[in-house]
Amino acid sequence: MSLKLKTVRAAHRRAVIKLLKKADPAEELHQDVINLTFMIELLKTKQKTLSDLNEKIIEYIEEEEEIDKEIEEVDRYELEI
């Protein structure tokens, strides 16, 4: 089950990366406010989905060291968002 959740999470992370690139003013010089607002809302939704998946994944991890690694990885990614 944990592997499937990690696969789903990876897909959501890729979607977030694409959104962040689209929202980057250096990438798209003609972003309008409505488009950027929509992207921000979508990123918030993705962040909530990722947070829920992270909690479920951690529930399946039994080794303390693995839990620590998982939490560190999640924190790094959250900071990127």
Distance of alpha carbon 16 from alpha carbon 60, whole angstroms:
24
The string of pLDDT tens digits covering residues 19-43 is: 888 776 665 556 677 777 888 899 9
**Angle separating helix axes 33-60 and 64-80, nearest 10 degrees:** 180
What is the pLDDT at residue 28?
Answer: 57
Tell me the whole-structure pTM to 2 decimals. 0.72
